[in-house]
Structure 1
Amino acid sequence: MANQVDVMRKMTKKEITRVFFIQNGLLILLGIGIIFISTGILQWMKELSFAWQPICWAVGLALVWAAINIALDRVLPERFTDDGGLNKLIFKDRKPLDILLLCVLIGFTEELIFRGVIQFYFGFWASVILFVLVHFRYLNKVYLLFNVTITSIIIAGLFQFSNQNLISVIMFHILFNFIGALDMRMRYQNGGGVAHGEERRR
């Protein structure tokens, strides 16, 4: 983790953005490739439903879970919430529109893979476990591991009980990440962090 942060410290904001686009672009191609090989993209899309009710549920859940996360970040000691400084490197000096674009890219890509492919074909717990493992920088932090696990269960549950409405989980992921990232950006720029606005966040 430290090596990843050290490498990113030497990169410009544009270079970090380029890495995100390349990584997520490759994941999107991988997901589409799996769908084509298995059932075909048209058949896959027919089996997914679209409805406003689960999308509204997704927005509500994202707002509530983001608010809980922000509240916890303000009361927990830094040792529980520090991810090595990676989030600070990514979000501190970005404009809100840049953050939104990153959140859209990440939310779309991760949900296409973890819900649209893994959960769609391999089930609830496969998507939950693999989602947690991909966020490997949290694995040695009890609180962060718990947090990302609960987040993964919430998203997988939303997908499961919304008749596989992929749009709803994408909306949840984007909104949840965007609110959290804006909160981090505000506190980083004010010289604050997680606990009581005085310590460094993640």
Structure 2
Amino acid sequence: MKKFDIRNIRVRKVNIDEIDDRMLLINLYATQAFTLIIGIIWILFQRQNSLHVLDIPNQWEFLAWGVGLAAAVIAVDLLISRWVPEEAADDGGVNDRIFRNRPIWHIALISFVVAVCEELLFRGAIQHAFGPYWTSIIFAAIHVRYLRHWIPTGLVFSISYGLGWIYIQSDTLWAPIVAHFVIDFIMGLIIRFRREP
């Protein structure tokens, strides 16, 4: 049996076109699993009860916070995409590759997984430690594909700050989860059903 040698591992920059759909999905779900694990560990180190963080509130007010923020974000994004050149908001084609050929149920699943995993880490753990401002800077920084252009970077920062704000106002993690899910799901549907010019 051949021995595994860690020195043979080579790291190189990969273009999105070099990755097939299967590998793109594996990468997406693996990074979300990693995000979830880090979030749970961080919450445990903060001596928070990770199950309590995800308690569903008795009142349904959190839905209004989540859907309201999502509607505002989608409206702003649609306005920006109407007047800003596509090159200024380019993410390297990642979102297009993720959502373009997916069935609706899979767009919903991806949106839900991303919303729960990222909000548990960023709002449930990091914001608890650093507050919404620094959390939003970290959130924008990990969305590396947007950092080449200031408009999407500013949008990601603003959305993250809005998610942190509704988390504070609603006192439940489900408000930002709902907002994150609705934003990703609607934007995924827009990409899926968009007509090419």
TM-score, normalising length: structure 2: 0.84
Report whether the alignment pairs 1:58 with 2:66.
Answer: yes
Aligned-pair identity in percent equals 27
The correspondence for 1:71, drawn from 58, 61, 79, is: 79
Report whether the alignment pairs 1:178 with 2:185.
Answer: yes
Letter matched to residue 153 of structure 1: Y
Corresponding residue SS for 1:123: helix
Report whether the alignment pairs 1:125 with 2:133.
Answer: yes
Q: 1:85 to 1:47 in 2, by over 3 A?
A: closer
Q: Which residue of 2 aligns with 1:30?
A: 38
CA distance in 2, matches of 1:113, 1:54: 19
CA distance in 2, matches of 1:14, 1:38: 36
Report whether the alignment pairs 1:90 with 2:86.
Answer: no
Which of the pair has more CA radius of gyration?
2
CA distance in 2, matches of 1:47, 1:120: 14
Q: 1:38 to 1:150 in 2, by over 3 A?
A: closer
CA distance in 1, matches of 2:89, 2:145: 12
Q: Spell out the pairing of 1:138-157 with structure 2 (5 A cutoff).
A: 138-157=146-165
CA distance in 2, matches of 1:111, 1:138: 19
Stretches of structure 2 lacking an aligned partner (at least 5 in a row): 1-12
Stretches of structure 1 lacking an aligned partner (at least 5 in a row): 192-197
Q: 1:12 to 1:79 in 2, by over 3 A?
A: closer
Q: 1:120 to 1:74 in 2, by over 3 A?
A: same
> When the two structures are aligned, how many residues end up with a matched partner?
184
State the 1:121 CA deviation: 2.3
Which digits, 9 at most, give the CA deviation of each residue in 1:110-150, with x for residues without a partner? 10000000012221222111111111221220211121121
Report whether the alignment pairs 1:116 with 2:129.
Answer: no
State the 1:79 CA deviation: 2.0
RMSD across aligned positions (CA): 2.1
TM-score, normalising length: structure 1: 0.82
CA distance in 2, matches of 1:34, 1:82: 32
Q: 1:172 to 1:30 in 2, by over 3 A?
A: same
